[in-house]
């Protein structure tokens, strides 16, 4: 008898397919690899800043003030004699914390509202969406400025203010995904079987919106860092002596012409971080979005 070919052994699994697609996208998109490597380096630098920083970022040494970059001070020193490189390393902690915090708070606020509005619809949907539109009516930074000024000029309040101004985007994403699937047969079958509305929303409706949430969150992460730096730049974000990139630029802007390195260090860190996160967001979209997947 002829041996049957091992057909099952040639069927790719889901994990194999995902891995192959990821490797294919990685080979085609060198910028994605570079951005992930840079972002990993920034995260590691922030995590091990206490070991990597050659100086105390808050230590004042007037004898070393405004020294240009050298082997002793890789990014020079500021007007207080503080090592800019050490401050950039510790500032990465504050900036990355802001990025994670803003996205996390925005998701925690926006996802439940979008779920309820999309699933139940009717007057509840109208009320919740009009409530959301109120926050969209404000310019992107005006509302955070007002909220931070009212709550107090500390970094946590700036994070909360940015999250309050950005959560409407997640409301719209989740609501759209829920509206798209709530009329499907499997949702109706779950209702007939007596499954609770909460379980249907969490187990069946929400997963339809996970991909756009991940892509939106990865993009907002970089914008959150940039927005927090802007708030610190105008004096309502991080406060001295906290090392934070936007605050470092603000404190050194008057000496930019005579000591350019005091602004270039934190400014370059902001640029690289935001660029890396945005490129990573594009790569995740290509990997997870079915439309981009079908075109690849």
Instruction: Please check whether residue 181 lies inside any domain of the structure.
Output: yes
Per residue in 276-286, pLDDT (tens digit) is 888 887 777 77
Give the pLDDT of residue 123: 92
Q: Cα–Cα distance between 232 and 241 in angstroms, integer?
A: 12
Task: Give the pLDDT band of residue 75 (cuts 50, 70, 90).
Answer: very high
Q: Cα–Cα distance between 48 and 139 in angstroms, integer?
A: 37
Question: Which 3 state secondary structure label does DSSP give 83?
Answer: strand
Instruction: Please check whether residue 237 lies inside any domain of the structure.
Output: yes
- Structural domain count, the chain: 1
Instruction: Please check whether residue 232 lies inside any domain of the structure.
Output: yes
Q: Residue 188 sits in a domain of what CATH number? A: 1.10.3720.10
Residues 6+ apart with CB under 8 A from 245: 88, 91, 92, 94, 95, 225, 229, 232, 266, 267, 269, 270
Give the pLDDT of residue 1: 44
On average, the pLDDT of the chain sits at: 83
Q: Whole-model pTM?
A: 0.80
Q: Cα–Cα distance between 162 and 228 in angstroms, integer?
A: 8
Give the pLDDT of residue 171: 93
Instruction: Please check whether residue 137 lies inside any domain of the structure.
Output: yes
Instruction: Please check whether residue 285 lies inside any domain of the structure.
Output: yes
- Domain range holding 117? 75-295
Give the pLDDT of residue 288: 65
Instruction: Please check whether residue 68 lies inside any domain of the structure.
Output: no
Pick from 126, 164, 127, 131: nearest CA to 145: 164
* Side-chain-side CA neighbours of residue 194 (13 Å): 0
Selected residue with higher pLDDT from 46 and 296: 46
Give the pLDDT of residue 6: 45
Instruction: Please check whether residue 35 lies inside any domain of the structure.
Output: no
Per residue in 31-70, pLDDT (tens digit) is 677 788 888 999 999 999 999 999 999 888 888 889 999 9
Instruction: Please check whether residue 12 lies inside any domain of the structure.
Output: no
Range 198-217 average pLDDT: 84
Give the pLDDT of residue 10: 46
């Amino acid at each position: 008898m002829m041996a049957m070919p091992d057909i099952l052994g040639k069927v790719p699994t889901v994990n194999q397919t995902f891995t192959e697609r990821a490797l294919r996208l990685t080979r085609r998109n060198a910028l994605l690899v570079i951005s992930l490597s840079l972002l990993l380096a920034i995260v590691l630098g922030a995590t091990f800043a206490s070991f990597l920083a050659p100086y105390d970022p808050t230590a004042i040494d007037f004898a070393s003030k405004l020294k240009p970059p050298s082997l002793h001070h890789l990014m020079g020193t500021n007007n207080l004699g503080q090592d800019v490189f050490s401050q950039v390393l510790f500032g990465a902690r504050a900036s990355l914390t802001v990025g994670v915090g803003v996205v996390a708070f925005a998701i925690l606020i926006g996802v439940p509202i979008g779920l309820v509005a999309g699933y139940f619809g009717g007057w509840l949907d109208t009320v919740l969406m009009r409530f959301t539109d109120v926050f969209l009516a404000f310019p992107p930074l005006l509302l955070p400025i007002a909220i931070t000024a009212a709550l107090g000029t500390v970094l946590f309040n700036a994070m909360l203010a940015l999250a309050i101004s950005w959560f409407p985007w997640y409301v719209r994403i989740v609501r759209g995904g829920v509206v798209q699937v709530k009329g499907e047969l499997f949702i109706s079958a779950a209702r007939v079987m007596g499954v609770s509305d909460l379980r249907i929303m969490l187990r069946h409706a929400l997963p339809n919106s996970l991909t756009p949430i991940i892509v939106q969150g990865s993009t907002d992460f970089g914008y959150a860092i940039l927005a927090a730096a802007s708030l610190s730049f105008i004096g309502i974000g991080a406060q001295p002596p906290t090392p934070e990139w936007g605050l470092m630029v603000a404190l050194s802007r008057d000496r930019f012409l005579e000591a350019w390195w005091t602004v270039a260090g934190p400014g370059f860190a902001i640029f690289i971080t935001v660029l890396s996160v945005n490129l990573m967001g594009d790569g995740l979209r290509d990997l997870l979005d079915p439309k981009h997947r079908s075109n690849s």
